[in-house]
Every structure is written in C-alpha cells, then in structure tokens.
Chains A and B, each alone.
Chain A
Amino acid sequence: MKTLVFVEHADGKLKRTSLEAICYAKAMGGDVVALALGTLDSQSLAEAGKYGASRALHASDAKFDHPVIQAYSSAVAQAMQQEGCDHLVLANSPLGGPVAAKVAVRIGAGFVSNVIELPSTANGFMVKRSIYTGKAFAWVEVKSAKKVIAIRKNAAEIKESGAPVSPVSFTPSLTDKDFNTKILSTDKATTAVSLPEANIVVSGGRGMKGPEHWAPLEELAATLGAATGCSKPVSDMGWRPHHEHVGQTGVKVAPQLYIAVGISGAIQHLAGVNSSKCIVVINKDPEAPFFKAADYGIVGDAFDVLPKLTQALKSAK
C-alpha cells in the first residue's frame, strides 16, 4: 500500500488539515508521499516529513498559484501514477473535495468524503463519515483496491513521527484543456484567521444588534486567536460577509471551542456547529434553545459579558 497526500498551503505554510491528512495516511500504514502545487518554499514542504511523509513532490509552476480544479486533479492523478500510489488521502476542503472526486472517477477508486475517523480494517475496509450535516454518521465499506478518502477536520491527531524530507521536483504534463476555468480576480480577507481551520470560533447573532457593535466580539476573538463567524440572519442582513456564515447552508465548523454570542440556536445553525468539541453560549434570553446544545452557558447581555470575558482571559494568560 502506498498513499499520496495532496497537501494545501496558505501564507507559505502547510495547512493544519493537510498535516492531519498526512498523519491519517501514515496511521493507515504503508508509504506516504506528499504532493504540493504552486509557489511554496521547499523548507515548508519539507515539514511534511515530520508528520510521516517519506517523500515530498513539488510542482512549483506559478500557473498552479490559482487553483483550477481540473488542472489540480490531473496533476494529482499523474503523481499517483508516477509514484505507484493506490490510495489518495486529502482534506475535505472546498478544493480537496472536488479534486478527490475527479481523481476517483479517473482511476476507478472507491471514494468516501467527510470521513471523521481512521478506518477499521478488521472486517473489510470500513470508514465512518458524517452525514445529515453532522446529525448522524454512516459506516461505508470501500470494496475497490484503489481508494480515495477525503477527511474532515479532527479525523486524525497531528503528531510528529519523522524528520523533514527534501522535496523533489514534479512536472505533470498538462494541456490548455486542464485550465478550463479562468480566475479573473480574488477578493479575500488576508488578516483573518481561517474559519474552517480555526481551533476556536467566536460567532455573533442578531443579539449583537448591528454591524457597528462587533468590536467587543472581535476583541474576544483576537485575545483567543479565534476566527469570527456569524449566524445566517446576520449574513443575510449584510452585517457580516457571507463567508463568515456558520450553519446548514454556510460553513460547517469543527473547532475545539465554539462561542456563540446572541445567537438563539435555530436547528440550521446547530447543524453547522455540532461537531465542535465544546460549545459556550452567551445569550440574554434564558429560554434560547441554543443552551440545550451547549456545554457551558451564561445568561447575560453580550455587551456586558464580552468585555469581562476578554479581560478574564487576558488576566489568566
């Protein structure tokens, strides 16, 4: 068994969820080869070795700097063929998911997305995946020899098991047909902590009373090194950008800690946060349904509790 891990990177570093994918592949057994596409310095990619990759491939061509799904899929499929890999593991991100699916189609592999745990191999190859937006799980048996596994955050523990590896240059042969979508421009917040990657998320709802009142919430997030999120009404009213919307039809998060401020807890919002390890709800309405889904609750006014909580965290540091 030999596994290719497609690793994503941002701001010159490998993403945490990609490190998890390397650790997941390592724990499955067999050799692990990491592949990165686009501009990245070789020291950063060499880190893949620390988490279990015995080899790292790098297609550094700048034309990969804007991710075109088709071109990425072709590069991944070619790397698997060159390296003789029969498994592909990657993070189930907006980029990784479609790439995994296309590669699975091309190589005739069984494909499972949203995988949340290491496989069980006692009785066939079984993986557990999240379904109904985290409200349930399904056990899936993969019968084919080739397998493609797209993992959710926290599917594997990140641990170091080796030393850095020097990346090897990889040159996939791509045609114009692989670049079948053209990226015209990108409009991206550069300073914010990535919401799907974050270990702590602080979200605000209608109880925040308006976009001009977000400062205490942002201050708490900054103190915790957290990403900021929001409820659907807040994003619908334009108080916060859509990419911050957490819930059934927005971003699904799985942080260690989720702090909800002034969010009542509609079932659609809960669907986006129910994979969080610990949920704290701050709401002035003691009847808010969100308290039933929380680990800790504070009944109180957001503008009173937030600064006090920020202060308490600063003092406790």
Chain B
Amino acid sequence: MKILVCITHVPDTTSRISFVDNNTKFDATGVQYIIGPYDDYALARAVELKETLGATVTVLNVGLAESDPTLRKALAIGADDAIRVNAEPADSYFVASQIAEQAKGFDLVLMGRESIDFNGGVVHAMVADMLGIPSVSPVMKLDIEGTTVKMAKEIEGGKEYVEANLPLVAGCQEPIAEWKIPNMRGIMSARTKPLKVVEPKAVDTLAKTTKFELPPPKGAVKMISAEQVEELVTRLKTEAKVL
C-alpha cells in the first residue's frame, strides 16, 4: 500500500503573530517552524500503518526551500521519501491542485484536519473532489481491513462511525495516533532519504490575500472579589451586555 502524507510547515502554536511590509507579509523573525500539529497526527498514523501493514510512506509539502528541514523531520519520524512542490502555498485551491497532481497512484492520502496558519480545513475535501475519491474529516480513528477503511469521525456533540473504500483522503486529528519523536537512528537515516523537488502546476488563484490585520488590543481585566459575585452578574448585564 502506498500512503501519501501532506504536511504543512507552520509557526509553532506559541508564536507571537505579527506582520511587516505595511501588513502584507508575515514576520518570521524569531519564529520556530514545525510540522502542523494535525499533520503530525496524520504522519504518526501513517508510520503505524507502515509498521503493521507494510506500507510505504511518502511525505509531501507545498512550499519553498525553508520547508526542507520540516520535511527532513518527517523523514526522521519514519516517512520513506519526500516531495516538495516548489511554490508559495497561495490558497487552499492552489495547494489542493498541487496535491491532487502528486497524489495519483496513492491508495491513502492523509493530512491534518486543517493547517494552523490559515485554518481553512478544506484541502482534503478539495483534493478528493479533484481525484474523484471519498474524503472524511476530522478522523479520530482509522483502521484498514483489505480495501475498506473504518473510521471514527468527530461531529458536533459526538462521533460518527464511517466506512469507505480505498483510495481515500482523510483529514486527521487526535487521538488517531500518538505523536512520534524522531530518534537518533531516524535523524541519521533521514539525511540520505530522497527529497524530490518538483515545480508546481500552473493554477489560477481566484482568491488572493492582499493584507493582514491584528485584533485590537484587549482592555485591562476588571477584578471582582469572590465575596461579591452579584457584582459580576450586574456588570455582565449592564456593562458587557452579554446576559
């Protein structure tokens, strides 16, 4: 079985977000980049499936050269080879088009339920549509029996148990697998595993980000004594007007 895991190269969840160039560009100064946390779950499940079912795992990123260390980390975690589509990930349609182009011939395409920078949460659905195969997200459990994939999917207020046939695209989230931390052997072997750089397919960007904005600063917290909770009720009613 051939598994493709799509990963994003995104600022660490604790990063301070700011912009430069008149609010048109993300300020990457001092920002630590990571494999998207949801993508990390997808990768961990793919490596487990490789160990139990004997699959090969290819990891894919749409991004520029700065994504290479993130791809190497995925190789250290257990992917066999890597592909980088050499382009700025402009929007979800552009990224999905590039993934669909590379995903032909794979049995299972896994990725995070959403990226943590743009949070679109739709690339899996777009890729599946482009390939004419099913997609399921957010998947919390995924098992394969022959060509059938059995999944637990989170829905509002609970879970849905779903079944579909391979090939399939799944958007993953916890607790599908435990995150894997690369060991020394993995890190050493990752250096020599193949990382192929391919040029993007030409795609029109129909929705273009033109500028960024930060939320207005928050006012100071108003502290209320634990002995006067009635005051909180009054303030929520008359001052904040939320009751």
* A240 on interface, CB distance cutoff 8 Å: no
Docked-complex contact A298 and B206, CB < 8 angstroms:
no
Chain A residues whose CB sits within 8 angstroms of the CB of B211 once the complex forms? 138-139
Q: Give bound CA distance, A130 to B160, whole Å.
A: 28
Cβ of B17 < 8 Å from any Cβ of A? yes
* Contact assessment for A181 and B136 in the assembled complex, using a CB-CB cutoff below 8 Å: yes
Contacts A187-B158, A194-B157, A298-B225 hold; do A278 and B240 have CB atoms under 8 A apart?
yes
The answer to whether B159 and A137 have CB atoms under 8 Å apart is no
A101 within 8 A of B: yes
Tell me whether A212 is interfacial, beta carbon within 8 Å: no
**Which residues of B have CB within 8 Å of A142?**
206-207
Give the CA-CA distance A131 to B92 in the complex, in Å.
13
Decide: A136 and B212 in contact? CB cutoff 8 A.
Answer: yes
Q: Are A140 and B207 in touch, CB under 8 angstroms?
A: yes
Q: Which of B49-57, B67-75, B228-236 contacts A (4 or more CB under 8 A)?
A: B228-236
Set A101, A139, A293, A304: member contacting B92, Cβ < 8 A: A101
Give Cα distance in the complex from A181 to B209, angstroms: 34
Instruction: Report chain A residues within 8 Å CB of B78.
Output: none
Q: Please name all residues of chain A whose beta carbon is closer than 8 Å to the beta carbon of B161 when the two chains form the complex.
A: 183-187
Nearest-neighbour CB distance to chain B for A173, whole angstroms, equals 17
Q: Which of B13, B126, B210 meets A267, CB within 8 Å?
A: B13
Q: Does A213 interact with chain B (Cβ within 8 Å)?
A: no
Contact A295 B240 (CB under 8 A): yes
- The answer to whether A111 and B207 have CB atoms under 8 Å apart is yes
Point out the residues of chain A lying under 8 angstroms from B136, CB to CB: 69, 181
CB pair B158–A140 under 8 Å, yes or no, is: no
Q: Do B226 and A299 touch (CB < 8 A)?
A: yes
A137 CB contact (under 8 Å) in B96, B123, B213: B213
Known A-B contacts A137-B213, A242-B154; A113 and B120 likewise in contact (beta carbons under 8 Å): yes
A135 to B214, CA, bound (A): 7
User: Which bucket holds chain B's interface residue count?
Assistant: 35 or more
Q: Does B37 contact A (CB under 8 A)?
A: yes
- Pair B158/A189 contact, Cβ less than 8 Å: yes
Q: Is the CB of B92 within 8 A of A113?
A: yes
B28 near A: Cβ within 8 Å?
Answer: no
**Known A-B contacts A131-B119, A195-B156; A98 and B135 likewise in contact (beta carbons under 8 Å):** yes
- Is B196 an interface position by the 8 A CB rule? no
Q: Enumerate chain A residues within 8 angstroms of B232, measured Cβ to Cβ.
A: 280, 296, 298, 309, 312
The answer, among B116, B137, B157, for a CB contact under 8 Å with A132, is B116
Known: A101-B122, A184-B163. A137 touches B207 (CB 8 A): no
A43 proximal to B (CB < 8 A): no
Task: Output the nearest chain B residue to A70 by Cβ-Cβ distance.
Answer: B134
Q: How many A-B pairs fall under 8 Å by CB?
A: 252
Partner among B13, B157, B175 whose Cβ is within 8 Å of the Cβ of A188: B157
Task: Give the distance in Å from the alpha carbon of A111 to the alpha carbon of B125 in the complex.
Answer: 13
Asked, given contacts A257-B243, A267-B13, A316-B233, whether A139 binds B210 with beta carbons under 8 Å apart, the answer is yes
Interface centre among A181, A187, A271 (most CB of B within 10 A): A181
Check A111 against B226 for contact (C-beta < 8 Å): no
Q: Which of A191-224 contact B (CB under 8 A)?
A: 192, 194-197, 200, 224
Also in contact, A256 and B242, with CB within 8 A (given A181-B136, A196-B156): yes
Of the listed stretches B58-66, B81-89, B183-191, B216-224, chain A binds B216-224
Given A70-B134, A143-B208: A243 touches B122 (CB 8 Å cut-off): no
Measured between alpha carbons, how far is A194 from B236 in the docked complex, in Å? 22
Q: Are B155 and A143 in contact (CB under 8 A)?
A: no
Whether B160 contacts A186 by the Cβ 8 Å rule is yes
Assess whether A138 is in contact with B17, with CB atoms less than 8 Å apart: no
Given A113-B122, A189-B158: A296 in contact with B222 (beta carbons within 8 A): yes
Complex Cα spacing A182 to B207, Å: 33
Pick from B122, B133, B214, B235: contact of A98, CB under 8 Å = B122
Q: Mark B133-146, 1 if CB is under 8 A from A, else 0.
A: 11111101000000
With A111-B93, A132-B117: A268-B126 Cβ-Cβ less than 8 Å: no
Q: Is the CB of B221 within 8 A of A292?
A: yes
**25 sample A-B contacts, Cβ–Cβ < 8 Å, listed by A number:** A93-B156, A98-B121, A101-B92, A101-B120, A102-B129, A104-B93, A111-B207, A114-B119, A131-B118, A132-B119, A133-B119, A138-B211, A139-B212, A186-B161, A188-B155, A242-B140, A243-B155, A243-B158, A243-B159, A249-B173, A257-B242, A267-B14, A295-B240, A309-B232, A316-B233
Beyond A136-B17, A267-B13, A296-B221, 18 additional pairs, beta carbon < 8 A? A10-B156, A69-B136, A98-B124, A101-B125, A139-B209, A140-B210, A143-B207, A184-B161, A187-B160, A188-B157, A189-B158, A197-B156, A257-B236, A257-B243, A292-B221, A296-B235, A298-B232, A304-B226
| Chain A to chain B: the 6 pairs with minimum beta-carbon distance, closest first | A300-B226, A188-B158, A110-B206, A101-B122, A98-B125, A180-B134
Interface residues of A, Cβ cutoff 8 Å to B:
10, 69-70, 73, 93-94, 97-102, 104-106, 108-114, 126, 128, 130-144, 180-190, 192, 194-197, 200, 224, 241-243, 248-249, 256-257, 267-268, 271, 274, 277-278, 280-281, 291-301, 304-305, 308-309, 312-313, 315-316
